[in-house]
Amino acid sequence: MGSEGCLLVMVIDIHPQLAEAEQHAHTYLDACISFANIHLASNVRNTLAVIAANHQDTRFLYPSTTEEQDKRQKDGRLELLGLVDDSIERELRSMVVGKHQGEQTESLISGAIGRGLLYIKRQETEDILSKRVHARILVVKISSDTGGQYLNYINNYLSAQKIGTAIDVCLVGSDCGLLQQGADITGGCYHCIHEITELLQTLIMMYQADVATRKKLNTPAPEAVDYRAACFCHRSLVDMGNVCSNCLSVYCKAVPLCTTCNVIFQTDRPMKIGKKKK
């Protein structure tokens, strides 16, 4: 935890499938908000940003963009916590209440991570007193992935790695290879739980410590991440593939024409006599 604060950007998935079981939605949101409060209360210099993502939109829940009235704290706890709670509740309400058009596809987490990265970059440029802003992103996800946003995710991971931001991932439900790769690339922690009631406990135990403190804790070693690429024709992972030299698309077997960039491949021709091959 240290004396310099840490900026925590929470990316919360509020996909409509949460609404299927009402109790689940309450537990889930309570856990997230409680964790945000714990983060702020543990060090006076900690700062917070919360971004919510559903299948239609992403929105900053805190710091909030809409005006609010000054409310005085009546119950004696830290004013900032009350402000955070109110802001999150207000913005969530306006985000969720509304027409839900279109099919319910995956949540737009990559967009939320992108906005979080820009917010962190702004803190770095504005905070001239400290040498470095320690920032991390925590992604709490409940819906499943289709893999159509691979490029967005990878670009975000590589930029997070460049600016030294770790992306921690806590999944409720099934494993997601893409997010696991992201946590590995940026040096974050990846975990998947199966019961939503375990969420708050997992968040406190595994994700409260920031990256510097984690080195002093005795955490279990991360398991090997599968970094194989998926071939463009079948979307299955390949061990050895053929890569187009123009557009870098991966194919599992030799094809005469690249479907992405429409370039015809020169297949092996009889070599001219006298020309040495490498």
The footprint of other proteins (CB under 8 A) covers 53, 55-58, 60, 63, 65, 102, 105, 108, 110-112, 114-115, 117-119, 121-122, 125, 148-152, 154-159, 162-163, 181, 185, 224-230, 237-248, 250-251, 254-255, 258, 263-267, 276-278
Return the number of the residue (115 or 134) whose C-beta is nearest other proteins: 115
Return the number of the residue (70 or 223) whose C-beta is nearest other proteins: 223
Least distance CB 162 / other proteins (angstroms): 6
∠ CA 19-23-26 to the nearest 5 degrees? 80
Least distance CB 141 / other proteins (angstroms): 15
Spatial CA neighbour of 58 closest among 9, 23, 24: 9
Least distance CB 154 / other proteins (angstroms): 4
Residue 194's φ and ψ, nearest 5 degrees, are -110, -20
Report the alpha-carbon distance of residue 178 to residue 226 in Å, rounded.
9
Return the number of the residue (183 or 196) whose C-beta is nearest other proteins: 183
Residue owning tokens 């289709």: 146
Residue 90 CB burial class (10 angstroms; 0-12, 13-18, ≥19): middle
A 10 A CB-CB count for 123 gives 15
Return the number of the residue (28 or 251) whose C-beta is nearest other proteins: 251
Return the number of the residue (30 or 68) whose C-beta is nearest other proteins: 68
Least distance CB 201 / other proteins (angstroms): 30
Least distance CB 175 / other proteins (angstroms): 15
A 10 A CB-CB count for 20 gives 8
Return the number of the residue (74 or 277) whose C-beta is nearest other proteins: 277
∠ CA 105-111-113 to the nearest 5 degrees? 120
**Residue 269 CA, distance from chain mean position:** 47
Report the alpha-carbon distance of residue 220 to residue 202 in Å, rounded.
14
Least distance CB 5 / other proteins (angstroms): 18
Residue 113, H or E segment: helix 109-126
Spatial CA neighbour of 80 closest among 135, 124, 38, 122: 38
* Identity at 210, one-letter amino acid code: D
Least distance CB 227 / other proteins (angstroms): 4
Return the number of the residue (213 or 259) whose C-beta is nearest other proteins: 259
Report the alpha-carbon distance of residue 94 to residue 88 in Å, rounded.
10
Instruction: Say whether 232 sits in a helix, a strand or coil.
Output: coil
